[in-house]
């Protein structure tokens, strides 16, 4: 019973920081596809909630404490702005689970001026879509590997 609960907790915690890890561990632990997807969604949305409320305050506190001044015109910043202008809030939110981590994606959308309510909705849609896709692919790949 306890070890079964630990498997769910591991999937949840990994999904908070690296979304793709949740479905991979869920498949490796041989968890139900729906449970794996739900734990992955809950993990990502926990991170989105925490960062949406405290991310900018934390970043500003770090900058104030350590006196960090970020360069404004870097190739990385130009690339981020290009993605933002091309895809907007929904695009960045949609691709967050596969291109970024929930932490980076949420900070990106929040920093560039995304509205909190829309960030939640878009990230939730993205998490639901990608959780079921990646959990299904993970299960399928694991089945194929074990058949060989």
Nearest Cα to Cα of residue 128 among 94, 79, 80, 77: 94
pLDDT in tens, 10-58: 999 999 999 999 999 999 998 999 999 999 999 999 999 998 888 777 7
Whole-model pTM: value is: 0.83
Residue with tokens 């995304």: 114
What would the two tokens of residue 61 be? 């506190």
């Amino acid at each position: 019973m306890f070890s079964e609960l630990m498997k769910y907790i591991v999937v949840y915690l990994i999904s908070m920081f690296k979304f793709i890890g949740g479905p991979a561990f869920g498949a490796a632990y041989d968890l139900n596809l729906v449970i794996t997807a739900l734990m992955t969604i809950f993990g990502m949305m926990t991170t989105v909630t925490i960062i949406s409320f405290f991310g900018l305050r934390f970043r500003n506190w770090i900058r104030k404490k350590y006196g960090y001044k970020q360069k404004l015109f870097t190739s990385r910043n130009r690339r981020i702005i290009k993605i933002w202008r091309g895809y907007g809030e929904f695009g960045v939110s949609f691709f967050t689970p596969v291109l970024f981590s929930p932490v980076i994606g949420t900070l990106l959308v929040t920093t560039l001026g995304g509205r909190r309510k829309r960030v939640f909705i878009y990230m939730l849609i993205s998490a639901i879509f990608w959780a079921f896709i990646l959990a299904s692919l993970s299960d399928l790949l694991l089945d194929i590997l074990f058949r060989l």
